Amino acid sequence: MKALVLASGGVDSTTCLALAVQQYGAENVLALSLFYGQKHYKELQAAQQVAAYYQTQHLQLDLSDIFKFGDNALLANSAQEIPKTSYADQLEQQNGPVNTYVPFRNGLFISAAASIAIAQDCSLLYYGAHRDDAAGAAYPDCSEEFQQAMAEAIWQGSGGQLRLEAPFIQDTKAGVVARGLALQVPYQLTWSCYVGQELPCGICGTCRDRLAAFRQNGVDDPLIYPQAEQEENK
Amino acid sequence: MKALVLASGGVDSTTCLALAVQQYGAENVLALSLFYGQKHYKELQAAQQVAAYYQTQHLQLDLSDIFKFGDNALLANSAQEIPKTSYADQLEQQNGPVNTYVPFRNGLFISAAASIAIAQDCSLLYYGAHRDDAAGAAYPDCSEEFQQAMAEAIWQGSGGQLRLEAPFIQDTKAGVVARGLALQVPYQLTWSCYVGQELPCGICGTCRDRLAAFRQNGVDDPLIYPQAEQEENK
């Protein structure tokens, strides 16, 4: 059984990769990283290091052309700023998806991964969506309803060759970290911050989520944050 | 209401575009053509001419990088030959998809189109799949089961912003042509042949299907075929 894992270099997908390696062996796991025109390459560098750590094959693909038709705070072609507040606060200020929602990004990533997975004779496609990402409709393409429909579309559209699974879809982010800690995931190699400076900013939505997830597990995030933010997040 | 239509330049998608223009007006319709590394550009040229005829906006995108990980007779990087027999004969010779099935191509096309449609404030995404394409599992990503699951994935994944419709999913190809003839679709501008020489070959699976669909409507295909194939298909 060969598995392809969507590997962004972040906490969730790295935990997903660790799980796949444990279940199927590194030689049967392919990591796939997709670039979509982000403002920085830190995530991809993290994904490369994680794949090197686990000694899995690592494929990379640039999908940024597809997103050139839209505007989104995550993209290098956008003048929008990445919000420095939590997702909960962002959701209170507006209806529907947050401004770091890239339209149907996960749908597109999963479809591209499905095509490559079939071409590479994989019968399983893993990705790291979890319950917290979908909360309050922040990222509708992380919800369980989306995951189930997409899994059915891939099963039908591949003629029964490929199964899509999101093993953490019912877990919180803290739950994902708990599973990763048990698997001894090298979280010091991962990257989550949307901003992409030398150190993670500690104040964007994804930094806040990450820090909270480690804190809820009673451990420190192994990444180093600027001193001011480190004090605040204690 | 704005609609985005996947427009390949062939009979089915051109009929779909005509239907969208009739329903929503050309100014509210965007045609999207996707290049995926085919052996020729004839389809894209046809799609351009069709969009010019209907005076709809026309977007183009190259997705060929995604398919570089696989092998398929349709792709320029493949040594495989395009079969010169009907789909029915090809299906008899093998189990599962035909060798012109590009893994999950429609899933990927629809996902890319969904992302662009949302970015362009469209609330409807049209594509021209029909019953004959899915027959015998030739192209599993043209089936009604796939279409329904994909529609649900897009609805959920877009936070209820975008609806996917395949208006011909229960029609035969002859039925699609019947609707197109009523809409006075300029079929002389379309292109279906997989081979991509000066004239359509008349003997690949898609040429055979196309010729049969016109014949079943009691009209001639307005395209000109090589003399030998024209006689055979009378």
- In tens digits, chain A (234 residues) has pLDDT values of 999 999 999 999 999 999 999 999 999 999 999 988 776 789 899 999 999 999 999 999 988 888 777 665 555 555 566 556 665 666 556 555 555 567 888 899 999 999 999 999 999 999 999 988 877 666 788 889 999 999 999 999 999 999 999 999 999 999 999 999 999 999 999 999 988 888 999 998 889 999 999 999 999 999 999 986 666 655
CB-CB under 8 Å, B153 with A159: no
Q: Round to whole Å and give the CA distance between B44 and B41.
A: 5
In degrees, to the nearest 5, what angle opens at C-alpha B113 toward C-alphas B112 and B118?
105
Most distant CA atoms of chain A, gap in Å: 53
In the prediction, which pLDDT does A102 show? 74
Ramachandran region, residue B125 (left: φ > 0; alpha: ψ -120 to 50; beta: rest):
beta
Nearest to B153 among A67, A115, A149 (CB): A149
Find which of A62, A95, A104, A108 to mutate to test the B interface (most B CBs within 10 Å of its CB): A104
Q: Round to whole Å and give the CA distance between A92 and A50.
A: 35
CB-CB under 8 Å, B67 with A119: yes
CB-CB under 8 Å, A137 with B114: no
Write the burial class of residue A176 (CB in 10 Å: 0-12 exposed, 13-18 middle, 19+ buried): buried
Contact B140, B147 (CB under 8 A): no
Query: Hey, is the C-beta of A159 within 8 angstroms of any chain B C-beta?
Result: yes
ipTM for the complex shown: 0.82
* Helix-helix angle A173-182:A205-216, to 10 degrees: 60
CB-CB under 8 Å, B158 with A153: no
Element of type H or E holding A173: helix A173-182
Window B:34-73, CB contacts with A under 8 Å: 59, 61-63, 65-67, 69-71
Residue B81 is classified by DSSP as P
Residue of A142, A164, A152, A106 lying closest to B149 (CA atoms): A152
**How crowded is the C-beta side of A193, counted as CA atoms within 13 Å?**
20
Contacts A67 to B, Cβ<8 Å: 115, 119
CB-CB under 8 Å, A152 with B152: yes
Contacts B116 to A, Cβ<8 Å: 66, 69-70, 103
Query: Hey, is the C-beta of A120 within 8 angstroms of any chain B C-beta?
Result: yes
In the prediction, which pLDDT does A84 show? 64
* Domain assignment of residue A52, given as a range: 3-232
CATH number for the domain harbouring residue A134: 3.40.50.620
Residue of A216, A5, A3, A2 lying closest to A128 (CA atoms): A5
Most distant CA atoms of chain B, gap in Å: 54
Among all residues of chain B, which has the CA nearest to that of A103?
B115
In the prediction, which pLDDT does B196 show? 80
Query: Hey, is the C-beta of B156 within 8 angstroms of any chain A C-beta?
Result: yes
Q: SS3 string of B185-211?
A: CCHHHCCCCCCCCCCCCCCCHHHHHHH
Which regions of chain A does DSSP assign to beta strands (E)?
Answer: 3-6, 29-35, 57-62, 124-126, 163-165
Structural domains of chain A, count? 1
Among all residues of chain A, which has the CA nearest to that of B108?
A111
**Torsion sign, CA atoms B220, B223, B227, B228:** negative
Q: Round to whole Å and give the CA distance between A102 and A8.
A: 15
Among all residues of chain A, which has the CA nearest to that of B137?
A159
CB-CB under 8 Å, A159 with B97: yes
In the prediction, which pLDDT does B137 show? 62
Window B:5-24, CB contacts with A under 8 Å: none
Among all residues of chain A, which has the CA nearest to that of B114?
A104
Query: Hey, is the C-beta of B114 within 8 angstroms of any chain A C-beta?
Result: yes
Tell me, yes or no, if the pTM score tops 0.95.
no
In the prediction, which pLDDT does A36 show? 83
CB-CB under 8 Å, A114 with B108: yes
Contacts A140 to B, Cβ<8 Å: 156-160
Quote the tokens at residue A51. 């794949």
In degrees, to the nearest 5, what angle opens at C-alpha A35 toward C-alphas A112 and B99?
25
Q: Round to whole Å and give the CA distance between B68 and B213.
A: 33
**Torsion sign, CA atoms B34, B6, A110, B130:** negative
Query: Which is more confidently placed, B54 or A138?
Result: B54
Contacts of A138 (CB under 8 A, 6+ apart): A87, A90, A91, A97, A98, A101
Contacts A162 to B, Cβ<8 Å: 104
pLDDT tens digits for B151-189? 999 999 999 999 999 999 999 999 999 999 999 999 999
Nearest to A153 among B63, B119, B150 (CB): B150
CB-CB under 8 Å, A141 with B157: yes
Quote the tokens at residue B105. 């191509």
